[in-house]
Amino acid sequence: MRNPVDSRLQEKLSQRLRFYEDLGLSPFYRERQTATKQASPFSSLLPSESIEESQLPKALPKISSAATVPASKPPVLPVAAGPTLFEAASKLAGETLPIVRADLGECTRCKLHKTRNKIVFGDGNPQADLVFVGEGPGADEDAQGLPFVGRAGKLLTQMIEAMGLRRADVYICNVVKCRPPGNRQPEKDEVDSCSPFLFRQLDVLQPKVIVCLGATAAQTLLQTNRSISHFRGEWLEYRGYKMIATYHPAYLLRNPAAKSEVWKDLQKVMAELGLQVKKNKAR
């Protein structure tokens, strides 16, 4: 007959059982250690290996040792839209107006090339502080390959001279480089094909002020369909350059009364460039 279990040992066992019951590990039993199995020094602190899986606490789900945790992938970050081919080229070191003109080549990018005589790229001072941007070449410009040389061009020259400048002091160009048939307004696909070369011209020139002559020029640079009446004579911004829109000289030929409004716009440009101050000092 076995000796009864010591009361103190029995109390300790009871406390240990209650401890495991609090953990949700009851009932359980411990197998006898085989003679060949070496007991772990921490075995008294661990539950028995023969515990049923259903008896494990739900808060601690069993994880298979063979299971592999997939490597976490780095978060996918949004990719910023890069510059277009034309914008990237305009930022290359050494970009010049002749390089832009060479890239334009004998352009066939839109249907305007089918009826043109000459490409009208631009004309004037490549270091100009003031740039005038028009809509497109007319008949005289198409024949000579120079911008604003017809009746509207003569009026623009008078406007420039009234500001105390010479035509050679400024730079003049257009949104499209080929004449639209019948001097019609350039169509959207024609503007889309040609305007990147205008953008590159302006990036090379880096003027202090851009004057848009007419709605097409202003709408192209501002990327808007709003009428010029909404912003004519107001200071605007194009990629960091100060810009103002006014009426096209061809419009003034048809509406002479609007000349006073254009002169007010040009006086704002003169004040921005300090032309009035320089003119007074020259006297």
Q: Enumerate residues 6+ apart whose C-beta is below 8 A from 209.
A: 129, 130, 131, 241, 242, 243, 244, 269, 272, 273
**Which CATH number applies to 85-282?**
3.40.470.10
- Whole-number pLDDT of residue 50: 42
- pLDDT tens per residue, the chain (283 residues)? 555 556 766 776 776 666 556 655 555 444 444 444 444 343 344 444 444 444 444 444 444 444 444 444 443 333 333 344 444 444 456 899 999 999 999 999 999 999 999 999 999 999 999 999 999 999 999 999 999 999 999 999 999 999 999 999 999 999 999 999 999 999 999 999 999 999 999 999 999 999 999 999 999 999 999 999 999 999 999 999 999 999 999 999 999 999 999 999 999 999 999 997 444 433 3
Q: Where are the domains of the chain?
A: 85-282
Quick one: pLDDT at residue 177? 98
List, in sequence order, every beta strand (DSSP E) within 153-270.
171-174, 209-213, 236-238, 241-246
Report pLDDT for 67: 44
Predicted local distance difference test score (pLDDT) of residue 81: 36
